[in-house]
Amino acid sequence: MPKRIVSILCLILLSSCNLPGAAATTQPATVEASATPQAATGVLTAAPQQPTVSESGPALESIIILQPGPNSSIYSPVTVQGQSRPTFEQNLVIAIYGEDGSLLAQQPTTLDSPMGEPGNFNVETPFTVDHEQPGRVSVFETSAMDGGIIHLSSVEVTLWLGMNVIAPPNLGLESIDIQSPLPMAEISGGSIQVNGYSDYYFESNLGLMLCGAFGSGSPNDLCGTEDNILASGNAIIDSPDMGQPGPFTGELTYSITEPTPARIVVFAASPRDGGWLHVSSIPILLSP
């Protein structure tokens, strides 16, 4: 990774998540393909994808996967590296999924930065497959309150038995940017309208979930436990054209008897295997 790109990403992560006036001029960082790739690693020359931009200004991606990039072909063990905002105790989880969504590898890691600061991650992750197949590399942060996924970024790859062919990363903005309610908003009345801006996902559809706290039921990836799920629903991406990013809106209806901390989760699921392509969430305070 050229030092220039690392410097740009460090500046991105250290900057504000709302840059006034930047929506019309923000451009993705460029990635230069290596002229002399390592013997075990090829480098594709595809350009990084254009980032999404909301009307109110761009939100920066919380977890950036620098390697492997989308459409890479990877062989075990694969090096997964990138940068992230600060997380609880600087912890992240690396996961690799097979063509049917089965978990092939999962490995915890920590950022190489002081508590409360963004940092890098770099993990060699082994996995096992017996034939070439589509797969996914995911990096995610979990909640200290409920154990559910707070934020997840992923790249679609090919898992195979040959050498690694690493494509460049997408260096852009938040794939699912929740713009309202605002984080830590106090909400009452039993209904929440959720708005934001998103990359295009299958059939312009996003999932919504409202997660409570302190559950003790069976596990749930997004809310920690099944009894933490207070509401679920869908949001539709209003794309200007098929395959294009656009604003989204959806509604969650809930019923509680006492104030509780909660999270609004917006996610995109894979049409191939039902796994998570991207997850974003914000904390809120609920009242009856």
pLDDT score, position 162: 85
Determine the Cα–Cα distance for residues 271 and 40; give it in Å rounded to an integer. Answer: 32
pTM for the predicted model, two decimal places: 0.81
Q: How many CA atoms lie within 13 A of 208 on its CB side?
A: 25
CATH architecture designation of domain 3-166: Sandwich (2.60)
Confidence of residue 57 (pLDDT cuts 50, 70, 90): low
pLDDT score, position 15: 36
176-286 under CATH 2.60.40.2550, yes or no: yes
Listed in order, the ranges of the chain carrying CATH 2.60.40.2550 are 3-166, 176-286
pLDDT score, position 41: 37
How are the residues of the chain apportioned to helix, strand and coil, as percentages rounded to the nearest 5?
5, 45, 50
17, pLDDT greater than 60: no
Determine the Cα–Cα distance for residues 167 and 48; give it in Å rounded to an integer. Answer: 9
32, pLDDT greater than 80: no
**Segment 192-223, tens digit of pLDDT:** 999 999 999 999 999 999 999 988 889 999 99
Determine the Cα–Cα distance for residues 203 and 265; give it in Å rounded to an integer. Answer: 19
Confidence of residue 21 (pLDDT cuts 50, 70, 90): very low
62, pLDDT greater than 90: yes
**Segment 106-154, tens digit of pLDDT:** 999 999 999 999 999 999 999 999 999 999 999 999 999 899 999 999 9
CB-based burial label for 219 (10 Å; 0-12, 13-18, 19+)? exposed
184, pLDDT greater than 50: yes
49, pLDDT greater than 70: no
24, pLDDT greater than 60: no
pLDDT score, position 58: 59
Instruction: Give CA 30 to chain center in angstroms.
Output: 21
